Structure 1
Amino acid sequence: MAMKQSLDMRQGTSLVMTPQLQQAIKLLQLSNQELAEFVEAEIERNPLLQKSEDNDGAGEGSEPARREEMSLDDSSGMGEAREQLDAPGEDVYEPGTGSDNAMPAGVSGPSAKADWSGIGAGPASDDYDMASNTSSNVSLNQHLHDQLQLAGLSAADRLIAARLIDETDDGGYLRTTVEEVAKDLGADEANVEAVLHVCQGFEPTGVMARSIPECLALQLKERGRYDPAMEAMIENLALVAKHDLKTLSDRCGVGKEDLMDMMSELRQLSPKPGSGYSSDTTIAVQPDVYVRELPNGMFAVELNSDTLPRVLMDKAYYAEVSALKMRDQEKEFISECAASASWLIKSLDQRARTILKVASEIVRQQDAFFAHGVAHLKPLNLKQVADAIEMHESTVSRVTTNKYMSTPRGLFELKYFFSAAIPATGGGEAHSAEAVRYRIKQLIDKEDPDDVLSDDQIVEILTGYGVEIARRTVAKYRESLHIPSSVQRRRINRAS
């Protein structure tokens, strides 16, 4: 067969991801904190960008859209976004403060409250607690280093201690081994162990432990209560969690009354001794969207303008610089800065419009939740929202990532409202997995202590509500709620 070279012309379409379009897509999935940092970096890099301090100075059309008008992409790609973002407009981005988007819904109930109870919470006491009285601006790492200066260790031991402190996490636990520290520093393991013993005497008590049993043991030793019986209990924490009092009593060698006293003491200890100190990694969550109830029982959806950066392009400075004599490279730089500033402003506005559009559709789809609570949450997926607002699923996915909605029922991540469907008996309307999970919690919370519900019984009750669900699914949802099994709940009820 003869081989030959030839040139052919073919016409076709393809999606070209320009750097500007990539930036617009990136902005969509950033949280408000990440967005603020990104804009700050752009302002430092681009001399034509500056912050706008005048909250009322935005012109008409400069604030984010208050109705669903634009889509960042469609099922065919980025063509629509290119046309919208390239459209002429004011080179100013000033977030608005309100919305006239009202979604039909019933009257909302009281705000839901999260249950933060845990075994680390102890009874109130008049004793001075250094951890709880330390300024919230002081981190655990700094607090430990301050104590190290007063520990009276040698220079070599201070180096070892500093390394151990730096390997301690925000909860107060040492996240390395003595062997690793000794190897890295070229020190003797026995010496590192001795220095660790000194550091474990720092406040808060229990700090720099390598496990929960060691942490609790340090606190009990400081109280003078680490006797053989308590040591046996610490070694059998799994039995404590299961409330297997009979086996635990045999292991500890004490009667039921003494065992209950020991368990009461154990509840007064803190499994996270470092929790009373500030953390550099902790970032407060701020809502991106507000949902408020209107007098007519409907709900209005509006952006949180406080979290949106206000930026504008300094056109006067651009005109002044452009009038100067410049070399080709300088002209190119100023031209790129102007194009980048204009694109960023449009991208920010487009981001705000898209978030508002998606959030409004979520409120419309989940109106029963806002009116009646979690039990009425409907099954919802990305495709349903994307089809309703004529966007691509990937866009909705990016918009709902790290975005939060403040509602009369509490603060929720946008992804919370997307829930799998649980089929209904008789082919009726499907139930939301989150709503079913909530029903399971309600059933267990209201169960008779003398007649604990098994997973099979919960299946029967849910079937009566029209929910078609398997026993293993009930067990999975129960475990996700950190609810013990029926056997463990019976033991807990007998012990109380």
Structure 2
Amino acid sequence: MNINFALNLIQEQKLIMTQEMQMSVKLLQMSAYELGQYVNKEMQENPVLEERDLQNPKNNNTETNEYKEIIKYLEKDDYKIKNYSAKSESEEVSPFYYIAQEKSLKDYLVEQIGELTEKPETLDICKYMVENLDAKGYLSVKLSDICKELTISNEQAENALKIIQSLEPEGIGARDLRECLKIQLYNLGNNDENIYKIIEEHLELLAENKYNIIAKELKITIPHVQKYVDIIKTLEPKPSRGFYTGETVKYIVPDAYINKINEQYFISMNEDMLPKLNINSMYKEIIKNGKDVEAVEYVKEKLNSAMFLIKSIEQRKNTVYRVLEEILVVQKEYFDNGDEYLKPMTLKKIADNLEMHESTISRAIREKYVSVNSGKVIKIKDLFTNGIASVIGGEDISTINIKSAIKEMVDTEDQKKPLSDQIICNRLNIEGMNISRRTVAKYREELQIKSSSKRKRF
């Protein structure tokens, strides 16, 4: 065995991300809502941070000067606030735009159970079942398991389940999709055996649009099957829809506002989404006195953390602002005239124009929104689309416009003779959109439009 203990000098290049760099990246890709949550948490954990007193601007200037002195003392760069156009605080603009804040499904069901005149033990079983409903509103636990857990008979469990399934919304408490649909049909007073057979035995064929096989099995005509399918499609497969089930509550907080004034667009960064951060001047004395070494080191650490947070937030705003400025240049026609004028625009194009890395642009637009003149809230990411070369005119066409054209064709087609992907492809090519049949199929699937064979009506 030959063991060599020689020293070798190797030159290599490595990118090492410091903890501060990692935090800057993390803050950049946070949504406005996430950032607000994070800042509030930091204010609770870092005693040096405090909210600026907006009622006393003179006092704010004093405090700003004081913590600049502290940072100077710590041999750090002065904190310089960049100027951003911000919405006036007198304007009545709520920072929160709600996608959905649904009423709790379980609370709604418990309210209904509270109005029943059943025995207390029966109502307790019902409430227990409500606690075992899944996100769709189905009972996710077997009745036999509930009987064991509560030491009750199968008859008691069946009775309680029947009560649950009689509540609103219809279909609640079903144990699977088939039972959910049948409960709703029963409540509608529909007693047709054929429609129950389709649900019980032929749901897979229904999903495949194989109406001819269903018709053959039930010994009825294809148009009759179509009528049954139309009824089934009116039923709700997810009874919990419209209620809060604990999965998500989403908030949209726009990072900026884009307003058109005298034919010119102005970007206003949303200053309402975060508390106005300041450094608590009380800690200046602790550092200046310097008697308690441990206290001084603790304050220095917290000051560094606070200053880094403030600088990172300003840097985040600056990056988002610059990206929006560049988007406005590229997409001015879109902001003037609407969706049809959205141009193909990639991360690379914006990154090259701003001399930034694509990953920086990607983080800067992640889960971020802007509010435009009309109050419409736009997801910034939706403004980025690839383009398809146009045969006519030479300009690239946005994929959103192509998808819109595909959807319009399908919406206006003869449902007895739905358009195939090839026919759609041919029509798009005639209109100057250079696109293949495979790409048409891809966009159709992204639009959640079924194939022509599954769209056909009889």
Give the shorter-chain TM-score range: 0.7 to 0.9
Q: How large is the RMSD of aligned CA atoms in angstroms?
A: 4.0
Question: What residue number does 2:379 align with?
Answer: 413
TM-score normalized by structure 2?
Answer: 0.77
Q: Quick check: 1:375–1:439 contact (8 Å CA) kept in 2?
A: no
Question: What residue number does 2:434 align with?
Answer: 468
- Quickly say closer, same or farther: Cα 1:427–1:224, change in 2 above 3 A: closer
Q: Quick check: 2:344–2:385 contact (8 Å CA) kept in 1?
A: yes
Letter in structure 2 aligned against 1:340: S
Partner Cα separation in structure 2 for residue 244 and residue 7 of structure 1: 72
- Quickly say closer, same or farther: Cα 1:475–1:137, change in 2 above 3 A: closer
Partner Cα separation in structure 2 for residue 53 and residue 278 of structure 1: 37
1:330 equivalent to 2:295? Answer yes
State the Cα deviation string for residues 438-486 of structure 1 (Å, max 9, x = none): 2212233344567643322221121123222111211221122122333
Question: What residue number does 2:105 align with?
Answer: 140
Q: Quick check: 1:52–1:312 contact (8 Å CA) kept in 2?
A: yes
Of 157, 165, 179 in structure 2, the residue corresponding to residue 200 of structure 1 is 165
Number of aligned residues: 424
- Quickly say closer, same or farther: Cα 1:450–1:213, change in 2 above 3 A: closer
State the Cα deviation string for residues 405-450 of structure 1 (Å, max 9, x = none): 2335843322222223323448944333222212212233344567
1:88 equivalent to 2:55? Answer no
Question: What residue number does 2:183 align with?
Answer: 218
Q: Quick check: 1:229–1:254 contact (8 Å CA) kept in 2?
A: no
Q: Quick check: 2:39–2:274 contact (8 Å CA) kept in 1?
A: no
Letter in structure 2 aligned against 1:30: M
Of 259, 272, 296 in structure 2, the residue corresponding to residue 292 of structure 1 is 259
Query: Which range moves more in the overlay, 393-402 or 236-245?
Result: 236-245
Partner Cα separation in structure 2 for residue 419 and residue 221 of structure 1: 47
Question: What residue number does 1:33 align with?
Answer: 33
Of 277, 290, 300 in structure 1, the residue corresponding to residue 243 of structure 2 is 277
State the Cα deviation string for residues 302-330 of structure 1 (Å, max 9, x = none): 3222223421112x212233355653222
Letter in structure 2 aligned against 1:37: Q
Give the drift of 1:5.
Answer: 4.7
Structure 1 spans left out of the alignment, 5+ residues: 63-85, 100-135
Give the match's secondary structure for 2:324.
helix
Query: Which range moves more in the overlay, 341-350 or 184-193?
Result: 184-193
State the Cα deviation string for residues 1-44 of structure 1 (Å, max 9, x = none): 89455586x88875443322221111011111211111111101
Relative contact order, higher structure (CA 8 A, sep 6+) = 1
Q: How does 1:335-484 map to 2 (within 5 A)?
A: 335-407=300-372, 410-425=376-391, 428-447=394-413, 452-484=418-450
Give the drift of 1:352.
Answer: 0.8
Partner Cα separation in structure 2 for residue 180 and residue 473 of structure 1: 50
Question: What residue number does 1:172 align with?
Answer: 137
Give the drift of 1:396.
Answer: 0.9
Partner Cα separation in structure 2 for residue 285 and residue 214 of structure 1: 37
TM-score normalized by structure 1?
Answer: 0.72
Letter in structure 1 aligned against 2:335: F
Partner Cα separation in structure 1 for residue 15 and residue 357 of structure 2: 15
Partner Cα separation in structure 1 for residue 285 and residue 180 of structure 2: 66
Q: Quick check: 2:147–2:157 contact (8 Å CA) kept in 1?
A: no
Q: Quick check: 2:144–2:154 contact (8 Å CA) kept in 1?
A: no
Question: What residue number does 2:54 align with?
Answer: 54
Letter in structure 2 aligned against 1:442: E
Letter in structure 1 aligned against 2:51: K
Among all aligned residue pairs of Structure 1 and Structure 2, give the percentage whose two residues are the same amino acid.
Answer: 31
Partner Cα separation in structure 2 for residue 305 and residue 422 of structure 1: 38
Letter in structure 1 aligned against 2:86: T
Q: Quick check: 2:286–2:296 contact (8 Å CA) kept in 1?
A: no
- Quickly say closer, same or farther: Cα 1:389–1:48, change in 2 above 3 A: same
Give the drift of 1:395.
Answer: 1.0
